[in-house]
Amino acid sequence: MTIFVFMENNSCIRQQADIKQINRCKDRVAELNGSFDYLSNGLELAGNNVRLKILFLLYEEKQLCVCDLSDVLGMTISAVSQHLRKLKDRKLIETERQAQTIFYSLTNEYKNLLEPFFIILDENKILETI
């Protein structure tokens, strides 16, 4: 049985396009599609300035409540709560109730994933890294 693989250049207008390269890229994107979704799902939330601070503070302090965070960040409790909800919905953080206070902490999953950044941040070495 012969399988014909037509590597025609049907959408890229560029005439000198490297069709092998393009097909390699297509395969790669298809192969890693789930990982892209997972990663962008997390980075989308971590990319917000306020939420990045929240995530980092939880990394450093292990656990904090909305009220602590609203104080630290100088924001409304309601605003912070809404950020926490997004982070919780997507499993970046989890909750534990202690009496009347609800403490938030990083899930292990995302602690591991975001750690490379937190280490850089922790040492304030952003400018050295780049």
Partner DNA sequence: ATTGTATTTTAGCATTTGCTTAAATAAACA
Partner DNA sequence: TGTTTATTTAAGCAAATGCTAAAATACAAT
* Contact residues: a copy of itself, CB under 8 A: 9, 11-14, 16-18, 21-22, 25-26, 28-29, 31-32, 34-40, 42-49, 52-53, 56-57, 60-61, 64-65, 67-68, 70-74, 77, 101, 108-110, 112-113, 116-117, 120-121, 124, 126, 129-130
Fill in the amino acid letter for 22. Answer: I
Mark residue 18 as left, alpha or beta (left: phi above 0; alpha: psi -120 to 50; beta: remaining). beta
Contact 103, 95 (CB under 8 A): yes
Quote the CA–CA distance of 17 and 14 in Å, as a whole number. Answer: 6
Q: Using CB under 7 A, which of the segments 14-22, 31-39, 53-61, 111-119 binds DNA?
A: 14-22
Instruction: Tell me which H or E stretch contains 12.
Output: none
Binding partner at 83 among a copy of itself, DNA, none, C-beta below 5 to 8 Å by kind:
DNA
96 binds DNA (CB under 7 A): no
